[in-house]
Amino acid sequence: MKQRTQPEPVTSALLRDWLPEHEERGTVLVVGGSRRVPGAVLLSGIAALRTGAGTLQMATAERHAGGLGLAVPEALVVGLPEASSGAVSRDAADVLADFVPKAQSLVIGPGLTDVDETAALLERLLPMVAPDSPVVLDAFALGALGTHPSLGDPVRGRMVLTPNDVEAGYLLDAEVDDHVSAAREIAAKHDAVVNLMGVVAAPDGRLWQDSTGHIGLSTSGSGDVLAGLVGGLLARSPDLALAACWAGHVHAMAGQRLVPRTGLTGMLARELLDEVPQVLVELRTR
Ligand SMILES: NC(=O)C1=CN([C@@H]2O[C@H](COP(=O)(O)OP(=O)(O)OC[C@H]3O[C@@H](n4cnc5c(N)ncnc54)[C@H](O)[C@@H]3O)[C@@H](O)[C@H]2O)[C@@H](O)CC1
Ligand SMILES: Nc1ncnc2c1ncn2[C@@H]1O[C@H](COP(=O)(O)OP(=O)(O)O)[C@@H](O)[C@H]1O
């Protein structure tokens, strides 16, 4: 396929034709959280429910699993062993072996906080993923992939990466000077669809740029919400580029609408979760 030089703009019209109509809603498994950042996996999990997960499973450090279950009664929660650092331990793979192969889409990374434990965990988890299930990698899962690129081999062609600029730097092992070329390089290097700050790149050269969005989206937890939005869409349609463009657009539209109302607060991430359904309704009916 001829490589695009200029990204195609993401528009509501383009996306509306893409919105996955079939309501087959699968199971989304979110793996994340830690002693230090227990809420990240919750933000991703609720976001996945908002965009399409029929069944949500959240796997996180044992000490927080009960609280998650109360916060999201619709979800199944899995308690995972912790490493001494408080991060989810690589031994969590023993517990997750019962869940990973059955998930229609997976989101791994939000709230994981130790790159060595995360890399060792991914090394065992990714080969377990069902052959046609896509995987969203975010946060420390991206740092792990950046330092050990071969971790992605078992799911090559089935990954969506949602890096921020720091994570993109690890994935490239270089400075990020512009989002278009960085997204394109990461997509080619890791054979993955990438959503980097509103630029979506596919390994086959397709490229989109979303002019929506707002600086206010750069706030704690916002990336966890984005990763969950992608995971929920992937439970409805295995089209990686669709999920990355749609999730990014909904995330950006919600942020653009919220910031004037809420200001640049540090609680935008949870407000995004409540804004998403309204944005989806609007996009469908435009
Ligand atoms: N208040 C916070 O700091 C929050 C942090 N969150 C989560 O907490 C975790 C840590 O986030 P921070 O922003 O503090 O992370 P850092 O600012 O320490 O690092 C940012 C990213 O760089 C990469 N990285 C850092 N050190 C690395 C290393 N030694 N080798 C390879 N890659 C490395 C990781 O992918 C990491 O996600 C992430 O899972 C993130 O999702 C968010 O969920 C929300 C709240
Ligand atoms: N200035 C911006 N314009 C548009 N989108 C943004 C902007 N800042 C952040 N975002 C979006 O929000 C996401 C999360 O931002 P980030 O600062 O990485 O939050 P987190 O620390 O939770 O990962 C980014 O991946 C990007 O999609």
Q: What interface predicted TM-score (ipTM) does this complex get?
A: 0.92
CA of 128 to the centre of ligand 2 (A): 30
Q: Which of 177, 145, 174 is nearest to 161 (CA)?
A: 145
Closest-CA residue, ligand 1 atom 8, reads 111
Residue 21 pLDDT greater than 60, yes or no: no
CA dist 240 and 158 (Å) reads 7
> Could you identify the atom of ligand 1 that is nearest to the CA of residue 139?
37
SS3 state of residue 113: coil
Which one-letter amino acid corresponds to residue 155?
V
CA dist 201 and 73 (Å) reads 36
2 band by pLDDT with thresholds 50, 70 and 90: low
Residue 196 CA to chain centroid, in angstroms?
11
DSSP 127: G
Query: Token digits for 192?
Result: 């993955």
> Could you identify the atom of ligand 2 that is nearest to the CA of residue 213?
4
What Cα–Cα distance (Å) separates residue 202 from each residue in 80, 161, 241?
A: 33, 10, 7
23 band by pLDDT with thresholds 50, 70 and 90: low
| The pLDDT of residue 4 | 58
What's the pTM value of the predicted model, to 2 decimals? Answer: 0.94
Residue 160: its H or E element = strand 159-161
> Could you identify the atom of ligand 1 that is nearest to the CA of residue 170?
32
DSSP 218: -
- pLDDT tens-digit map of 121-150: 999 999 999 999 999 999 999 999 999 999
Residue 5 pLDDT greater than 90, yes or no: no
Q: Spell out the long-range contacts of 15-20 with Cβ–Cβ below 8 A and sequence spacing 24 or more.
A: 15/245, 15/246, 15/249, 15/283, 16/283, 16/284, 16/286, 18/239, 18/242, 18/245, 18/246, 19/246, 19/283, 19/284, 20/52, 20/233, 20/236, 20/237, 20/239, 20/242
The CATH class of the 22-285 domain is alpha beta
CA of 14 to the centre of ligand 2 (A): 22
Query: Token digits for 179?
Result: 């989002």
> Could you identify the atom of ligand 1 that is nearest to the CA of residue 144?
31
Of the bound ligands, which one is closest to the alpha carbon of residue 37? 1
CA dist 271 and 260 (Å) reads 12
Q: Indicate the average pLDDT of the chain.
A: 91
Residue 277: its H or E element = helix 268-285
| The pLDDT of residue 15 | 72
Residue 152 pLDDT greater than 60, yes or no: yes
CA of 214 to the centre of ligand 2 (A): 8
- pLDDT tens-digit map of 245-277: 999 999 999 999 888 777 766 778 999 999 998
Closest-CA residue, ligand 2 atom 21, reads 220
Q: Which residues are known binding-site members for (6S)-NADPHX?
A: 40, 111, 224
CA dist 212 and 226 (Å) reads 14
E strand spans, 17-96: 27-31, 55-61, 76-80
- pLDDT tens-digit map of 55-75: 999 999 999 999 999 999 999
| The pLDDT of residue 213 | 81
- pLDDT tens-digit map of 199-235: 999 999 999 999 998 888 888 999 999 999 999 999 9
Q: Which of 43, 20, 67, 40 is nearest to 241 (CA)?
A: 20
Residue 215's region, left for phi above 0, alpha for psi from -120 to 50, else beta, is: alpha
Tell me which of 136, 162, 171, 217 to substitute to probe ligand 2's pocket, judged by most ligand atoms within 8 Å of the beta carbon. 217
CA of 50 to the centre of ligand 1 (A): 24
Residue 14 pLDDT greater than 90, yes or no: no
| The pLDDT of residue 234 | 93
Domain ranges of the chain: 22-285
Closest-CA residue, ligand 2 atom 13, reads 223
Q: DSSP of 168-217, one letter per residue?
A: HHHHHTS----HHHHHHHHHHHHTEEEEETTEEE-TTS-EEE-----GGG
What Cα–Cα distance (Å) separates residue 115 from each residue in 109, 110, 118, 150, 216?
A: 10, 12, 5, 15, 27
Q: Between 24 and 111, where is the model more confident?
A: 111
